[in-house]
């Protein structure tokens, strides 16, 4: 399966990473990250560092998924601490992969795409892990709001990059959110998840409500900032996107996913989202990660973002099953659609990475040059 055409590959080769803005805490952590990268041998490929961090992060989250399949259960305290450590490792490795690329003179567009691809997947698992830690399975629509708004906010960041040609960072950004998430894990590990049900003095609301409010307000503020930049015009002709398309066109892709996700959850007679919130929101998250990666590829190749995608097949099947009177057991169908979404994402990413590596005549996980490239099939 060849994902990119020759014109896209040619434009990708000229792509240069660009970003604007610095968060409040990032300059402090830069000192630590510059120190850390010096301990990595120069033969270690940057993509290897990135994927190891993602594997650790996802592996730690699976402990939570195992112990809390409906986000209402209580996991052993060590599970929450493991997630805090796993996220810290992921943050550290994710921050130094670019530095490793520069110190080994191996910076390529593939490295940037690989980094953002891992971030899109990590976002899904971290959002689910936070909801499980706060036991939001008892408040399913609050859990759905946190997860969906996290997926949409991440998408907006790359939507903004597709319009302006550069990633835009705010004063409160990824580093700060990750630190807050680690703090949530550590507090839960020390005092148990019931700590979030304690009524706060003066305002007399449960602690988890304050956390939810912070996440929602922060996400809405970030999306508002992105939309102001998007609507002010892009770097293309007449204020268009980097691919000279409408600045609003990427909104359809994430919009249709959110519409399907909310509609399926609300219309389900078996209360699919209420009874299986973790599985359902993981399913939606994997699809969101797929369309986000397609947006990143469109940005880096300066090409038009296609409206329809095979990742939508699972949601369409669930929707049609409801429309025609629930001909198939929804829970079984959800598992089938979830597996399809995972396979679809893995196939898309693996073939895209391999095709780009072939074009650039490099390996994905090695710094050694190669002379012969085979096509991804």
Active site residues: 116
d(CA 315, CA 287): 9
Rg (CA), the chain: 21
Residue 75 and residue 67 in contact, taking contact as beta carbons nearer than 8 Å: yes
Residue 18's region, left for phi above 0, alpha for psi from -120 to 50, else beta, is: beta
The full 3-state SS of the chain, as one line of letters, equals CCCCCHHHHHHHHCCCCCEECCCCCHHHHHHHHHHHHCCCCCCCCHHHHHHHHHHHHHHHHHHHHHHCCCCCCCCCHHHHHHHHHHHHHHHHHHHHHHHHHHHCCCCCHHHHHHHHHHHHHHHHHHHHHHHHHCCHHHCHHHHHHHHHHHHHHHHHHHHHHHHHCCEECCCCCHHHHHHHHHHHHHHHHHHCHHHHHCECCCCCCEHHHHHHHHHHHHHHHHHHHHHHHHHCCCCCHHHCCCCCCCCCCCHHHHHHHHHHHHHHHHHCCCCHHHHCHHHHHHHHHHHHHHHHHHHHHHHHCCCCCCCCCHHHHHHHHHHHHHHCCCCCCHHHHHHHHHHHHHHHHHHHHHHHHHHHHHHHCCCCCCCCCCCCCCCCC
* Contact (Cβ atoms closer than 8 angstroms) between residue 343 and residue 336: no
Residue that is written with structure tokens 């997860």 in the block: 147
Buried b (16+ CB within 10 A) or exposed e, 299-315: bbbbbebeeebebbebb
User: 6: which residues sit within 8 A by CB, 6+ positions away?
Assistant: none
């Amino acid at each position: 399966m060849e994902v990119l055409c020759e014109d896209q590959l040619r434009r990708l080769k000229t792509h240069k990473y660009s970003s604007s803005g610095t968060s409040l805490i990032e300059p402090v952590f830069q000192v630590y990250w510059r120190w850390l990268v010096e301990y990595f041998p120069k033969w270690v490929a940057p993509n290897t560092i990135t994927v190891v961090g993602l594997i650790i992060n996802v592996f730690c989250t699976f402990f939570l998924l195992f112990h809390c399949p409906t986000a209402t259960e209580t996991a052993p305290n060590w599970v929450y601490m493991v997630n805090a450590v796993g996220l810290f490792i992921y943050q550290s490795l994710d921050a130094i992969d670019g530095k490793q690329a520069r110190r080994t003179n191996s910076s390529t567009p593939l490295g940037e795409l690989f980094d953002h691809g891992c971030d899109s997947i990590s976002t899904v698992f971290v959002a689910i892990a936070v909801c499980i830690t706060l036991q939001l399975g008892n408040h399913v629509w609050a859990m759905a709001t946190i997860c969906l708004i996290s997926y949409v906010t991440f998408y907006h960041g790359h939507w903004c990059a597709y319009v302006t040609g550069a990633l835009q960072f705010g004063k409160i950004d990824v580093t700060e959110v990750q630190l807050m998430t680690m703090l949530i894990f550590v507090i839960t590990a020390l005092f148990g998840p019931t700590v979030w049900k304690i009524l706060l003095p003066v305002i007399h609301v449960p602690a988890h409500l304050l956390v939810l409010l912070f996440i929602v307000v922060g996400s809405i503020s970030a999306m508002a900032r992105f939309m102001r930049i998007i609507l002010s015009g892009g770097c293309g002709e007449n204020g268009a996107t980097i691919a000279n398309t409408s600045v609003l066109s990427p909104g359809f892709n994430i919009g249709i996913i959110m519409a399907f996700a909310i509609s399926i959850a609300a219309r389900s007679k078996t209360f699919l989202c209420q009874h299986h919130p973790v599985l359902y929101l993981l399913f939606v998250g994997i699809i969101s990660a797929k369309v986000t990666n397609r947006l990143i590829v469109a940005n880096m190749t300066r090409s038009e973002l296609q409206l329809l995608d095979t990742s939508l097949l699972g949601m369409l099947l669930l929707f049609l099953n409801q429309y025609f009177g629930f001909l198939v057991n929804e829970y079984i169908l959800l598992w089938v659609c979830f597996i399809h979404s995972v396979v679809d994402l893995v196939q898309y990413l693996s073939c895209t990475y391999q095709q780009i590596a072939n074009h650039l005549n490099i390996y994905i996980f090695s710094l050694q040059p190669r002379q012969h490239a085979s096509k991804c099939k």
